Amino acid sequence: MPATMGASTRTAGPGGLRRLAHHTIFWPVVALIALLVANTLYSPDFLAVSILDGHLFGAPIDILRNSAPLLLVSLGMTLVIATRGIDLSVGAVVAIAGALSLSFIATSPNPGSVTTVLVAIAIALGLCLLLGVWNGFLVSVVGIQPIIATLILMTAGRGVAMLITEGQITTVNSAPFKTLGAGFWLGLPAAALIAYGVYVVVALITRRTALGMLVESVGINPSASRLAGVRARTIVWTVFALSGLFSGLAGLILASNVMAADANNAGLFIELDAILAVVIGGTSLQGGKFSLSGTLVGVLIITTLTLTVTIVGISPLVTPLFKALVVIAVTLLQSPRVRERLAARQRQRVAKPEEVAA
Amino acid sequence: MARKMWMRGTVAALSATALLALGACSSEQAPAAEGEETTSYDGGETEEAGDELISIGFSQVGAESGWRAANTKSIQDTLTADNGFDLSFSDAQQKQENQIQAIRSYIAQGVDVISFSPVVETGWGPVLEEAKAADIPVILTDRAVDTEDDTLYESFIGSDFVLEGEMAGEWAVEQYDGEGYQMVELQGTTGSAPAIDRKEGFADAISGSDIEVIDSQTGNFTRTEGKQVMEGFLQKYDEIDLVFAHNDDMGLGAIEAIEAAGMTPGEDIKIITIDAVKDGMQALADGKINYIVECNPLLGPDLAEVAQKVVAGEEVEKRIVVEDKTFDQEAAVEALPSREY
């Protein structure tokens, strides 16, 4: 139905809606709205936000908070993918950040103090930045294929996290650290404020300066951009380092959300969700042009989908299938070739009766 | 150009080797990091130490949870040379092919007894036949295998998951029947034996009471997913009185979600879980969880006893159910200081 609407405006319309329908994130936004509508059908006050204990409370707030880690990881992933790379190690980095920070807080004499928590955060983020730099080194200096280079850390990283937590699930009680993932600032979830804040900063830096264009040029043609004077190596190195840093921040938020570092399950398969969010958002895996707003919509779709499974009451047995069907629907709608076919069929159908009339 | 390509190939190969080495490190260091001695794979030492030592090969599932870590520690602490055992321990990292490989190598070493916790239920026929042909008795721990021929193993030591679910359900009926409670269930990993059996046992126990299961969803045995699913339930239903979580971790996640919704876990919404790991017991002692059925990970002593009997040629029971205790708040406060896991 929506596809035919786009096609008919192509032949007759003044162009506003048509241009909108051809925007890369049009269909992902439609999918997001459809998910929200489905949830509202099953739970009428789904979109209601109330004030509870001085902060906002409701499903939309849950979605914002739960989307924070995935948004951070996907942000780094978008930049990496734009340079024609991929970062498979993000899930492992998430686990390492949680393990390191919570182990540090657990062994410190004063787990509740703000200083301890800040030091723990600094250590964890520092290490994650280093891990990102390591990935960047393998890709940009040594010249290993990104998928292989980051596979190393993806496999080894969980082992490292396990070493740090000694195979246990580390739990701590620390009010300042808990604020990061489960607390509220100005009535909004702290985790969401951090993640969306980072998102805005990255969006401004890449879109208000030439940096975004340089990243795209490296993705489109590394040799040509190098010959044109772009420091391709530095840019590739930087995006991998940023991906590590953002994943570390995501790991801290995830660990703080439940106040436990689970080396096995924290951030498990988040690399796949992040790649999915980037692709749903319309950034090509072949590098080049990237869309941060698309990634944001992709992240919101994936987070809402998780909540939808519970709200709509999909049986756990078919949950993976249900998620896959939604993803297939979104990607098909987005595919220019599929849209062209649908539009062509629509044109034929419209054209025939006109011939008879003439 | 060709030279450069060759160099890149070499570097890729080197890093792949490094990857394998790192992977191997993580598997061997994980148990060692728990303060255990690295176990001996050397058959020669056994004979020097005396023929009385029973050599036993144990293949563990992995180190995926706190429960598993306690299970590993119990086995490594019990099957020591002092107790008359020479233990070869291997970690399968949740992969069946690793376990089959480990079992084959134990057969090749000619150990006295092979023991393992099967990752999955099916596909064990051929390798168990090999063990049988080599006349090596096999003891299963924690999880069962699905086979028609029960002569392939001597005994299966582990908890009865259905019974655990029943015990949890019976307590719920005892406490809350007649109140018209609405209950939600946080299931374990879809398709896993503990999830299926605990669900079944609980449902049987509450049938006939007025506790109504209004929804059931998987939380994959993890805190994060337990919290997310509970958030969804709290949005969807205006009134939830009771949560049954298939393990402590999901229950702990649910506590976070309930607190975030401005309610008091243990009072506004009652919580029943299974496992009794330390964090869960702490929450029970604090009154945030109302009841826990233990799933005992300390299988070492039972395994030692059965292994000794099997080697001595005595009859052993085909199914040994490990005794699971139950805890309410008072029992948790009492048990907590001496809790091993």
Instruction: Write the pLDDT tens digit of every residue in A270-324.
Output: 999 999 999 999 898 898 899 999 999 999 999 999 999 999 989 888 888 988 9
User: Using CA atoms, how far apart are residues B273 and B243, in angstroms rounded to an integer?
Assistant: 8
* pLDDT category of residue A185 using cuts at 50, 70 and 90: very high
- What residues in A contact B27, CB-CB < 8 Å? 159
Is any Cβ of chain B less than 8 angstroms from the Cβ of A40? no
Q: Which tens digits make up the pLDDT trace of A317-333?
A: 888 898 899 888 888 88
- pLDDT at A7 (0 to 100): 41
| A239 Cβ contact list (under 8 Å, min separation 6) | A76, A79, A80, A82, A83, A85, A136, A215
Query: B228–A306: do the CB atoms touch at under 8 Å?
Result: yes
B186 - beta bridge partners? B217, B245
Residue ranges of A 157-196 with Cβ closer than 8 A to chain B: 158-160, 162-163, 166-169, 171, 182
Residues 6 or more apart whose CB falls under 8 angstroms from that of B144 comprise B118, B121, B156, B158, B193
With an 8 Å Cβ cutoff, are A159 and B26 in contact?
yes
User: B224, A306: Cβ pair inside 8 Å?
Assistant: no
Region label for A173, one of left (φ > 0), alpha (ψ between -120 and 50) or beta (otherwise)? beta
Angle between helix axes B278-285 and B248-260 (nearest 10 degrees) is 40
Q: How far apart are the first and last CA of chain A?
A: 28
- For A215, the 3-state DSSP assignment is helix
DSSP B55-119: EEEEEE--S-SHHHHHHHHHHHHHS-TTTTEEEEEEE-TT-HHHHHHHHHHHHHHT-SEEEE--S
Residue pLDDT, tens place only, A147-174: 999 999 999 999 899 899 887 788 888 9
**pLDDT tens, position by position, B67-105:** 888 899 899 999 999 999 999 999 887 788 999 999 999
Taking the alpha carbons of A66, A68, A69, A74 in that order, is the dihedral positive or negative?
A: positive
CB neighbours (10 Å) of residue A19? Answer: 12
User: Is B261 strand, coil or helix?
Assistant: coil
> B253 and A145 in contact by Cβ < 8 A?
no
pLDDT tens, residue by residue, B175-225: 999 999 999 999 998 877 889 999 999 999 999 999 999 999 999 888 999
Q: Tell me, what DSSP letter sits at residue A313?
A: I
Is the pLDDT at A353 greater than 70? The verdict is no
Answer yes or no: is pLDDT of A345 > 60: yes
pLDDT (0 to 100) of residue B134: 93
Which three-class secondary structure state does DSSP give residue B211?
coil
Domains of chain B, earliest start first: 38-159+297-322 (3.40.50.2300), 161-295 (3.40.50.2300)
Q: Which of B63, B249, B262 sits opposite A52 (nearest CB)?
A: B262
pLDDT at A18: 72
> Chains A, B: CB contacts under 8 A, how many?
135
- Residues of chain A neighbouring B268 (CB-CB closer than 8 A): none
Residue in chain B lying closest to A67 (CA): B228
* Structure tokens that stand for B245 in this block: 């979580």
What ipTM did this prediction achieve?
0.84
User: Please, which residues have CB within 8 angstroms of residue B107's CB and are 6 or more apart in sequence?
Assistant: B114, B130, B131, B134, B136
CA angle (A180 as vertex; A176, A184 as ends), nearest 5:
95
Which of residues 137 through 156 in chain A touch B, CB cutoff 8 A? Answer: 138, 142-145, 148-149, 151-152, 155-156
Mean pLDDT, residues A1-11 taken together: 41
Tell me the three state secondary structure of residue B143. Answer: coil
Q: Which residue has the higher pLDDT, B95 or A1?
A: B95
Residue of A258, A311, A312 to mutate, testing the B interface (most B Cβ within 10 Å of its Cβ):
A258
Find chain A residues with C-beta within 8 A of B281's C-beta: none
Retrieve residue A156's tokens. 């080894």
What does the pLDDT look like over B250-266, one tens digit per residue?
Answer: 999 999 999 999 999 99
Q: B51 or A109: whose pLDDT is higher?
A: A109
Closest CA to B72 of B127, B110, B124, B28: B28
Give per-residue pLDDT as tens, A121-146: 999 999 999 999 999 999 999 999 99
Ranges assigned E (strand) in chain A: 50-52, 55-57, 170-171, 184-185, 188-189, 260-261
Distances (CA, A) of A141 to A8, A239, B11, B74: 51, 14, 11, 47
Q: Where are the alpha helices (DSSP H) in chain A?
A: 2-12, 16-22, 26-42, 59-82, 90-107, 114-136, 146-165, 175-182, 190-208, 211-220, 222-227, 232-258, 270-280, 292-308, 319-334, 336-357
- Say which DSSP state A201 is in: H
Q: What is the mean pLDDT of residues A35-60?
A: 90
- pLDDT category at A60 given cuts 50, 70, 90 is very high
Give the span between the Cα atoms of A135 and A240, in whole angstroms: 6
Cα–Cα distance, B226 to B256 (Å, whole number): 9
